[in-house]
Amino acid sequence: MASAQFPPPGPGTDPSDDFEPAVPGGPDAAAYEAGMADDPGYLASMRPPETVLGQLRVMVTALVTAPVLMLAISPLIVPAGEGRLGDLAPWLCLPILAVAAAALLLGPRAPRPLVPSQDREWAVRQSVLLFRQAVMFRYALSEATILVGLPLAMVGRSVWVFVFAFVVGYPILFWLTVPTATRVEAIRRRLETAGEPSYLWTALLKPVNRP
């Protein structure tokens, strides 16, 4: 019996032509590759389409204006005249410096690193949660540097005590809290200290789905 004859394999018939190398991290890894270069910019991110990062930037921008308004009305709040404890205005600046030092020491330590996990979706959700918590924790610390100056100014009956608190605390507030691209990238590196990928940029740049 004659053996069956098969045509020689032509171009494109080699089974190896259909082989596609595996993408590291699985087929969905390409969906988690956003980075700092994908940031559209601080102001541009606040415009549609709405993203998690854009929402945070709108919120933080509103929060950082509050101390400026307080500074504007502080002369109406702080009474003038001799302080209740005498001329202690210079000494009242020391607690402000102590709170500022605490903010500078503790603020950059937030957030805590991600716990290693094999669940990519969990890492994405957790990174956003920790990022939000870190921003608000840093805001509370730096805002305290400014707010502590108001009661001290009222005790010393000198608005300049509050002005001093603002001059010291507002740069700390801006540096620790405002989610610029550089600040987001620093927090991403902090999250990944333990070696767990955070996919933070992808999570923050993801469009928000509203019902």
Residue 83 pLDDT: 55
pLDDT in tens, 135-168: 999 999 999 999 999 999 888 888 889 999 999 9
165 in any annotated domain = yes
Residue 32 pLDDT: 55
38 in any annotated domain = no
Q: Of the candidates 178, 208, 181, 202, which has an alpha carbon nearest to the alpha carbon of residue 55?
A: 208
Domain boundaries, position 95: 47-79+86-109+118-205
143 in any annotated domain = yes
Structurally, how many domains does the chain consist of? 1
What pTM was computed for the model?
0.78
157 in any annotated domain = yes
d(CA 39, CA 56): 14
Average pLDDT over residues 53-75: 93
Contact at 8 Å (CB) between 55 and 209?
no
Contact at 8 Å (CB) between 191 and 198?
yes
Q: Write the CA distances from 204 to 57, 58, 88, 126, 166, integer angstroms.
A: 11, 13, 47, 12, 31
158 in any annotated domain = yes
58 in any annotated domain = yes
1 in any annotated domain = no
Whether the per-residue pLDDT at 20 is higher than 50: the answer is no
d(CA 12, CA 60): 56
94 in any annotated domain = yes
* Per-chain mean pLDDT for the chain: 82
Q: Of the candidates 63, 73, 101, 66, which has an alpha carbon nearest to the alpha carbon of residue 162?
A: 73
Whether the per-residue pLDDT at 201 is higher than 80: the answer is yes
